Amino acid sequence: MGVAVAMRAWFGAVVPREPAAIRFTLLSLVQSAGNGVFLTSSPFFFTSVVGIPPTRVGVGLTIAGLCGLLACVPMGIAGDRFGTRRVLVVAFTALAVLFALYGLVTSFLWFVVVACAVAVFESSCGSLAAALVYSHYQDNARAIEVRAQVRSAINVGFPIGAAAAGVAIGVGTRTAFTVVVIATAAVHVVCALLAIGLGRAETPTTRRGPAAVSQAALKDVRFVAVAVVNGLIQMNEVILTLGVPLWLVASTSAAPSVTAVVLIANSVLVVALQVLFSRRVTTADTAARALRRAGVLVAVACLIYSTSQGPAAWVVVLILLAGVTVQTIGEIYQASGAFTVAFELAVPDRIAEYQGVMALGVALRQFLGPVVVGSLVIGLGRPGWWVLGALFAGLGFVAVPLVRALARHRAVPEPRVG
Could you tell me the CATH number of the domain that includes residue 288? 1.20.1250.20
Average pLDDT over residues 362-370: 75
Average pLDDT over residues 172-187: 88
Does the structure show a pLDDT above 50 at 8? yes
Looking at the fold, whether 60 and 181 belong to one and the same domain comes out as: yes
Looking at the fold, whether 373 and 269 belong to one and the same domain comes out as: yes
Please report whether residue 208 resides in a domain: no
Does the structure show a pLDDT above 50 at 206? no
Q: What is the CA radius of gyration of the chain?
A: 21
**Mean pLDDT, rounded, of the chain:** 83
**Structure confidence at residue 12 (pLDDT):** 54
- Give the CB-side neighbour count of residue 109, counting CA atoms within 13 A: 0
Average pLDDT over residues 361-366: 75
Please report whether residue 207 resides in a domain: no
Residue ending a domain, choose from 196, 231, 251: 196
**Structure confidence at residue 133 (pLDDT):** 85
pLDDT range class, residue 414, cuts 50, 70, 90:
very low
Cα separation, 317 vs 253, in Å, equals 10
Contact predicate 188/27, CB 8 Å = no
Looking at the fold, whether 131 and 221 belong to one and the same domain comes out as: no
Looking at the fold, whether 270 and 325 belong to one and the same domain comes out as: yes
Q: What is the number of structural domains in the chain?
A: 2
**Backbone φ and ψ of 51, nearest 5°:** 95, 20
Please report whether residue 202 resides in a domain: no
pLDDT range class, residue 15, cuts 50, 70, 90:
low
How confident is the model over 230-242, as pLDDT tens digits?
Answer: 999 998 988 887 7
Looking at the fold, whether 405 and 271 belong to one and the same domain comes out as: yes
Average pLDDT over residues 148-155: 82
- Give the CB-side neighbour count of residue 249, counting CA atoms within 13 A: 10
Looking at the fold, whether 271 and 186 belong to one and the same domain comes out as: no
Cα separation, 302 vs 390, in Å, equals 9
Q: Exposure of 78 by Cβ count < 10 A (0-12 exposed, 13-18 middle, 19+ buried)?
A: buried
Q: How far is CA 296 from the centre of its chain?
A: 20
Please report whether residue 1 resides in a domain: no
Contact predicate 386/247, CB 8 Å = no
Looking at the fold, whether 253 and 353 belong to one and the same domain comes out as: yes
Cα separation, 158 vs 28, in Å, equals 10
How confident is the model over 337-355, as pLDDT tens digits?
Answer: 998 998 888 887 788 888 8
Does the structure show a pLDDT above 60 at 264? yes
**Structure confidence at residue 337 (pLDDT):** 93
Task: Encode burial over 36-63: b for 16+ CB neighbours within 10 A, e otherwise.
Answer: bbbebbbebbbeeebebeeeebeebbee
**Torsion (CA) 231, 236, 238, 242 in degrees, nearest 10:** 160
pLDDT range class, residue 205, cuts 50, 70, 90:
very low
How confident is the model over 17-54, as pLDDT tens digits?
Answer: 778 888 888 998 999 888 888 877 777 788 888 888 87
Cα separation, 387 vs 395, in Å, equals 12
**Structure confidence at residue 155 (pLDDT):** 80
**Structure confidence at residue 352 (pLDDT):** 84
**Structure confidence at residue 13 (pLDDT):** 57
Q: For the chain, how far is it from start to end, CA to CA, in angstroms?
A: 40
Within the chain, what is the greatest distance between any pair of CA atoms?
62
DSSP per-residue codes, 201-251: -PPPSSSSSSPP-SS-GGG-HHHHHHHHHHHHHTTHHHIIIIIHHHHHHHH
Please report whether residue 121 resides in a domain: yes
pLDDT range class, residue 208, cuts 50, 70, 90:
very low
Cα separation, 230 vs 360, in Å, equals 10
How confident is the model over 50-90, as pLDDT tens digits?
Answer: 888 877 887 887 788 888 888 888 888 888 888 889 999 99
Cα separation, 71 vs 323, in Å, equals 35
Looking at the fold, whether 77 and 144 belong to one and the same domain comes out as: yes
**Structure confidence at residue 209 (pLDDT):** 43
Cα separation, 288 vs 336, in Å, equals 10
Residue that wins the pLDDT comparison between 168 and 227: 227
Looking at the fold, whether 84 and 190 belong to one and the same domain comes out as: yes
Please report whether residue 77 resides in a domain: yes
Structural domain harbouring 192: 11-196
Cα separation, 243 vs 102, in Å, equals 29
Please report whether residue 261 resides in a domain: yes
**Structure confidence at residue 248 (pLDDT):** 84
Average pLDDT over residues 131-151: 79
Q: What is the DSSP letter of 255?
A: -
Does the structure show a pLDDT above 70 at 200? no
Looking at the fold, whether 58 and 135 belong to one and the same domain comes out as: yes
The answer to pTM > 0.75 is yes
Highest mean pLDDT among 18-27, 155-164, 182-191: 182-191
Looking at the fold, whether 292 and 183 belong to one and the same domain comes out as: no
Residue ending a domain, choose from 146, 162, 196: 196
Cα separation values, 285 from 5, 183, 273, 324, 413, Å: 32, 43, 21, 27, 10
Please report whether residue 84 resides in a domain: yes
How confident is the model over 281-315, as pLDDT tens digits?
Answer: 888 899 999 999 999 999 999 999 999 988 888 89
Average pLDDT over residues 119-131: 87
Count of positions (residues) in the chain: 418
Residue ending a domain, choose from 196, 226, 255: 196
Looking at the fold, whether 287 and 403 belong to one and the same domain comes out as: yes
